[in-house]
Structure 1
Amino acid sequence: LASQIGSANLTILANHGVIATGRNLAEAVYRAASIERVCRLAYDVLLTGLTPTEMKWSDMVGMKASLIERAADVYWAGAARMTIKSDPSVLQ
C-alpha cells in the first residue's frame, strides 16, 4: 500500500475511506476533514444539474498551500474545544 501511495498526502480507498498524512496530527486531521467537506460540496453541486466552473491549477496550488499552512492548527484547536465542551471528561 505504501509503495502505491508514494508521496501523496491523501488517498481515497474504494469502500474504505481515506488515508491522510501530514507533518503533524493536526495537519492530517485537517486534510481528512477537508476531503470529506470537498466531496460533499462536489456532490451538492452535481445535484443542482449545473456545470461547475473549473478552477485554474495555478490558483489551486496557492490555495492548498495557504490552507494547510494556516488552517490546520485553527481547525484542530476548534475541534478540541468542541470535544471538551461536549464531553469535559476527556480532560481527566
Structure 2
Amino acid sequence: MKLSRARRVVENALGILVARWRVFRKSLEVQPELVDKLVLASCSLHNLLRSDAAEPVMESERLPVQAFDNLDGIRRHPTKYASKSSRKV
C-alpha cells in the first residue's frame, strides 16, 4: 500500500471516530500512554454498534453506574500536558 493511500485510510478512520465520539473533537486531555487504549476502545465500540449481530443488552447484564467510579489512570490533564509530553518524544 502506498504511503498516500495509507494516510487517506487513517484520516478517514479518524474522521469516522470524530463523527461518532465527541471526545475526539478537541485535544485529548489524557496521558499519552492512554491514547492507544482510548482509540482501540472507540474502534471496538464503533464496530460493535455497527454489527448486525449485536443483540440488545439485557437489563441484568448492564453495569451499575458505580462500576465506573474508580477507573484507574484516566484523569483529566491540562491541554499543555500533552504538548510537553509530545516534545519529549
TM-score interval for Structure 1 and Structure 2 normalised by the shorter chain = 0.3 to 0.5
The normalised TM-score by structure 2 is 0.38
Higher strand share: 1
